Amino acid sequence: MSRKHFTLEDIRKAEQDFIPCPFCNKKPTIVFSDDECNWKDQDSEEYLQDPWSGLCFSICHDNEECPIVPTHCDNGPVYGNCYDTPEEAVEDWNKHLKKHGGMKI
C-alpha cells in the first residue's frame, strides 16, 4: 500500500483551518507520532518522509488553563485521537466545536 508522504508545509497549511477554541481563543496545532504514540521531532521532516513505524496526527491544544483540554500526553495536552491525515484532525476538531459550541465561522 503506497501512501502519501506528508510535509511540514501540509501540516501548517491544514492548521490554518482550525476554528479557534471558544474558551481560550487559541488555535490548536497538529503534532505527529508513530503508531505507538511516540512523539517525533516536530520541526523535522525526516520522520514524515519515512514513517517506518506508522504515522498518526493528533491535535495539540496546549493551554493548561482551558476547560476543554481533556487529556494529557507526554508531549502536552492532546485533544481527540489519532488521525490519518492533518485534514482529518482539523475536521474533527471543527465538527466537534460546531456541534457543541454554536460557533460562528
Q: Which residues bind Zn ion (CB under 5 A)?
A: 21, 23-24, 66
**Is the CB of 8 or the CB of 73 nearer to Zn ion?**
73
CB of 76 to Zn ion, least distance (A): 13
**Is the CB of 23 or the CB of 39 nearer to Zn ion?**
23
CB of 56 to Zn ion, least distance (A): 22
Residue owning grid cell 516536530: 42
Distances (CA, A) of 44 to 14, 39, 80, 88, 94: 17, 12, 23, 21, 27
